[in-house]
Chain A
Amino acid sequence: MAIVDRVGSALEHGPGRVVLSSLDALFDWARSHSQWVMPMGTACCAMEMIASFPFTKFDSDRHGVIPQADPRHADVMVVAGTITRKMQPAVIRLYEQMPDPKWVIAMGNCTVSGGIFYYDTYSVVRGVDEFLPVDVYIAGCPPRPEAVQDALMQLREKIRQESIGPNTRHVRKLTLPGPGESRASVEPSEPGEVG
């Protein structure tokens, strides 16, 4: 199934072997197995995200996941923790600084729906998908580090189904919700247009 298995078995039979596959499979394999994560941690979920990424007990490094503080070096933004109205412009700016292809994981109840801060508060954004296109949602308050790794595996499956062609979803423009709308939307950009 995976291109790496075919390459491995081809090499076993000696040099000069040819492996036929699609470019999509090759690129998707490379992208899904080296997800470089930008940890956008604000609150309690950031503690579990830190426990999951660089540390020895849960060790995401074996999956090819490396935390990168700079958004320009990252593929995946993991939003962990409550996002408030004051923080929202900063998150959008960092999302726009990430180069394509990029994905977003919403970690924790606060980023999924507002969580425990859904009622009675004036400054919390109820779910980060109000302004970002989310690929994987992780529920939990906070979710276990194993759940974060499970989300990375699910994102891997999702990336495997994508294509690297020009008019595909990962080359996109982000439109924030207008008055009366509640969800952000993404549109594929025109061929040749830079996203």
Chain B
Amino acid sequence: MNIDELRDHLCGQYPDLCPLFSIEFGDGTLQVECRGLYDAAADLKSLGFDMLGMVTAVDRGEHFEMVYRLTSREMSVGMFLKCLVPRDKPHTRSLYDLWPAALWQEREVYDLFGIEFDGHPDLRRIMLPEDWVGHPLRKDYQDERIIKRPDYI
């Protein structure tokens, strides 16, 4: 199935999600409010997206953008699910109940960005030592041990 067929299929089944769907660089994106993230994800799961491939975040300055990549085996297609999380006290609902694949992926996002996931059974650091202070992948992370590469392109 290609992206346009996916859009038609999605609009047929869930018409209120339809205006939030866009296509860019050949990939479909569903941009939702973080309050409605769990319901949108549950809708997409019942639409046929049975594999949660990737959970990550991007530091956009004023807010974090959560990016989920979902894949459907029977439709042979993948798409993005995105939501914006406010920067101070960032938290969103965990998708562990829908896809257990989110267990370690969300721990990694918590470790490197500091975004908390409500409902996650075991939220603790995964990559860095337990006593590490700070969240390195944020753009404003300061650490005097980092030596910045000189700017010769």
Contacts and interface: CB of A to CB of B under 8 A. Distances in A.
Nearest to B147: A119
Interface in A78-131: 85-86, 118-123
Interface string B131-151: 000001000010101111100
Interface of B: 128-129, 136, 141, 143, 145-149
Interface in A20-62: none
B143 to A, nearest CB: 5
Chain B facing A: main interface SS: loop
Interface of A: 85-86, 118-123
A118 B128 contact: no
Contacts, number: 19
B129 A120 contact: no
A122 B136 contact: yes
19 contacts: A85-B129, A86-B128, A86-B129, A118-B147, A119-B147, A119-B148, A119-B149, A120-B146, A120-B147, A120-B148, A120-B149, A121-B146, A122-B136, A122-B141, A122-B143, A122-B145, A122-B146, A123-B128, A123-B136
Given A86-B129, A119-B147, 16 more contacts: A86-B128, A118-B147, A119-B148, A119-B149, A120-B146, A120-B147, A120-B148, A120-B149, A121-B146, A122-B136, A122-B141, A122-B143, A122-B145, A122-B146, A123-B128, A123-B136
